[in-house]
Structure 1
Amino acid sequence: MIGVKECAWERVGDSVLVVCDPSTVIELADPGGTVSTLLTVLAEHPGDLAALRERLADAGVTVGEGELAEALVALDGLRLLVDPSRHAGAGREDAGRYFSNLAFFDLYATRDIADRDLQARLSGAHVLQLGTGGLGSNVLQSLAGLGVGRLTLLDVDVVEPKNLARQFLYREKDIGVPKVTRAADWVREFNSGIEVSAVRRWVAGPGDLTDLLDGVDLVVSGIDQPNEIDQWVNEACVPAGVPWIRGGMSGSRLVYFSVRPGVSACYACRITAYGDGIDRAPTVLDGRQAVAQRLSAAVPRVNRAVGPAAALIGSLVAFEAMRYLTGYEPPFGAGADVLVEVTGGCAQRREEWPRDPGCPVCARAAGG
């Protein structure tokens, strides 16, 4: 069955303006009024191709089967069409806690992929989250709100007073309690439909992660110790074909990136270009760059992630997770640093990594 989304349209001159989202206006050429008539028929009488042709004929529009099929493909490409028999649409009021999710996914639904399908992908997903601290605790809240069906949480730290400025899962009474235990309890209290498990473990190499990857669809990493942790996550995930996302803060700059095994450059490619760590600097340095890097290394590392910064980077990482898990749009940070300048009005830019054709980790990518 073919129908049109909840939207409004109006002919203006020889065009028809269509609005499904207040932020976007779609203008279609419509000199004879055929497009606006088709939209009205689709809204009032959803049906198959033959039924739509009959309704158009009743409205005084004669169109061939091939011409109509071509028009429907074009409208579907603009994400204006849905299959009403599978699409929540106005019925999302009965969706309970996922009402807003379905309303968001409505913007990306097509005839083949309904809003409910995108929500079902979240419900069927398994995410391994490394770290439940500044980044992890904020990402976790979004993943639980999205309804990710299974979460495995890993951390080794306990709650400390300094955490309470930006890690809002925790309370004063939780001081001294293992973070991963409290985080798992929070998920159970928040959404009883999510299967959650807690792993209290120090990661000392890729092997400490590989045993956790079975059935995992995505890894989110917010761990910054030991220094080799990002290499180890990459070495575990890429051969297993599991995409992973990393977020953090360097000085006054927020950074996140993701790796799509076999598709994007991997973290080992990034090391070749910029060295290891969340900081970004070319490995081949001129004189000034070398001095600047040496001076930077001499400055004590301080966690400057205030609550709004942790919430912002957590939200950006959660959006990237949603891209991977639902496919509503391609991952934005795959093989690239997405940089947010906190002191510059939170301006955002994307800088792609050069891919290393001799990368030994990419060569082991599952399916690569």
Structure 2
Amino acid sequence: MRIGLKQCAWERAGDGLLLVCDPSRVIELGDPEGQVERLLTVLRDHPGTAAELRATLAAGGDEVTLDELADALEALDGLRILCDPDRSADRDRAGRDFSNLAFFDLFASLERSDADLLARVRGAHVLQLGAGGLGSSVLQSLAGLGVGRITILDDDVVEPRNLARQFLYREADLGTPKVDRAAAWVRANNPAIDVRTVRRWITGPADLADLLPGVDVVVAGIDQGEHIDAWVNAACVAAGVPHVRGGMTGSQLIYYSVDPGRSACVACRVRAYGDGREVAATALNPAAVTAQRLSAGVPSLNRANGPAAALVGSLVAFEALRYLTGYEPPYVAGAEVLIDIAGGCQQRREAWPRDPGCPVCAP
């Protein structure tokens, strides 16, 4: 493995260095004797194996052992500033994946290059439940990311009221099945994606079981029956497939995910706090739980407009991307994030307690 430095800039500040690779993050490195700066310079100008780097340093007067160099490289790699030039992608020749590779570069390391992360996306299979407001937004992101295979499930047709927030569809699509038009949009955007469609109404976990083999993550934005979230949770946990859910209730957006075997599941949350309107979970405190119970008596109304669907859809897509690539750990596994549209879109995260006696995930 050759070891080099990502595109960085630094300057001395007293006895240390201020280094920037990611413009949003400044890294402070102690360097009273200048050895760190000389190592960074070698990594930038002369990428090579550990033995080659050691020889280059020695030629400049810095004698270090391979163990000492390995420790220094491990520390720098933990800051995500190193790369293997032979495994890093050539973004200038990447075409449609230029931005994806530029994003992955922020999280790449010696072990996992930007090209490796992109390859995980291209080899992934996502099951998208629902092609409505949330589904439309997420599907556009999945197509842009280049997910290799997408299965879309929905049983609705395009209606006039959909057009305000479901930007996959046009007036000419009114009355046609959503899955057909959504699949056509994906194929037109990225012909390399293998898109399959399922027109089906979900009546229980069994209606999903045959779709889950080979799926890497499920994205749920579907409103089919009062217990849809419990059914999706039961099917995905049984199959060991993570799922991400998003939605809106009143003036709050919500999204969460379940990582089977690692996080609490929806049933854990229900056993701890009651079900209420399962898709419309609220902050986990006594007053909010009471409010959730009372909300069952308020008629359900989909109030999501275009910006709301796009906002929660992008957050759901990011969580799905975490599962697909591991660029960072899932953020809402066994937890929910609520976004208060009436409060400047402020967010808060509430973790669920894992129930050791949960009939769904404990076995």
Could you say which residue in structure 1 is the equivalent of 2:344?
345
2 CA distance for matches of 1:199 and 1:281?
31
Distance 1:220 1:231, change over 3 A: same
Amino acid at match of 1:188: R
- 1:191-212 alpha-carbon deviations (Å, 9 max, x no partner): 0000000100001111110000
> Is contact 2:283-2:350 (8 Å) kept?
no
Q: Which residue of 2 aligns with 1:263?
A: 262
CA change 1:73–1:334 in 2 (3 A) is same
Q: Within 5 Å, which residues of 2 pair with 1:30-179?
A: 30-88=31-89, 91-179=90-178
Structure 2: gaps spanning 5 or more residues: none
Residue 250 of structure 2 corresponds to residue 251 of structure 1: yes
> In 1, distance between residues paired with 2:118 and 2:179?
26
Deviation at 1:297, TM superposition (A): 2.8
CA deviations on 1:243-292 (whole Å, 9 max, x unpaired) are 00110001100000000000000111011123331223589968x965x4
Q: Counterparts of 1:289 and 1:112 in 2: how far apart (Å)?
A: 45
Task: Give the conservation status (yes or no) of the 8 Å contact 2:3–2:47.
Answer: yes
Relative to structure 1, the CA distance from residue 45 to residue 229 in structure 2 (aligned partners, 3 Å threshold; closer, same or farther) is same
Gaps of 5+ in 1: none
- C-alpha distance in structure 1 between counterparts of 2:284 and 2:83, whole Å: 50
Q: 1:273, 1:283 within 8 Å by CA — same for their partners in 2?
A: no
CA shift for structure 1 position 225: 2.0
Check 1:302–1:42 CA distance in 2 against 1; reply closer, same or farther (3 A cut). Answer: same
1:136 maps to a residue whose letter is G
Letter of the structure 1 residue corresponding to residue 149 of structure 2: R
- Alpha-carbon separation, structure 1, partners of 2:136 and 2:224: 17
| Whole-angstrom distance in 1 between the partners of 2:225 and 2:132 | 15
Range 196-205 or range 273-282, more displaced:
273-282
Alignment: residue pair count: 360
What fraction of aligned residue pairs are identical, expressed as a percent?
Answer: 67
Distance 1:294 1:30 in 2: 58
Give the Å deviation of 1:228.
0.8
Alpha-carbon distance in structure 2 between the residues aligned to 1:150 and 1:285: 43
Q: Distance in 1 between matches of 2:252 and 2:301?
A: 13
SS at match of 1:100: helix
Moved more, 44-53 or 321-330: 44-53
The change in CA–CA distance for 1:87 and 1:294 in structure 2 (over 3 A counts) is closer
Does structure 2 conserve the Cα–Cα contact (< 8 Å) formed by 1:2 and 1:81?
Answer: yes
Report deviation, 1:93.
1.0
Q: Please give the secondary structure, in 1, of the residue aligned with 2:109.
A: coil
Q: How does 1:215-294 map to 2 (within 5 A)?
A: 215-276=214-275, 277-280=278-281, 290=290, 292-293=291-292
Match of 1:336 in 2: 335
The question of whether the paired residues in 2 share the 8 Å contact of 1:127 and 1:152 is answered with yes
- Alpha-carbon distance between aligned partners in 2 of 1:168 and 1:248, rounded to the nearest angstrom: 17
TM-score normalised by the chain length of structure 2 = 0.96
TM-score by structure 1 length? 0.95
Measured in 1, the distance between the counterparts of 2:237 and 2:297 equals: 33
**What one-letter code is carried by the residue in structure 1 that aligns with 2:321?**
M
Q: Are residues 16 and 293 of structure 1, via their aligned partners in 2, closer, same or farther at CA, if it must alter by over 3 Å?
A: closer
Question: How far apart are residue 298 of structure 1 and its match?
Answer: 2.9
SS of aligned partner of 1:24: coil
The structural deviation recorded for 1:214 is 1.2
Structure-1 residue corresponding to 2:189? 190
TM-superposition CA deviations, 1:32-53 (whole Å, max 9, x none): 1100110010011111111111
Does the 8 Å CA contact 2:165/2:306 hold for their aligned counterparts?
yes
Distance 1:222 1:275 in 2: 21
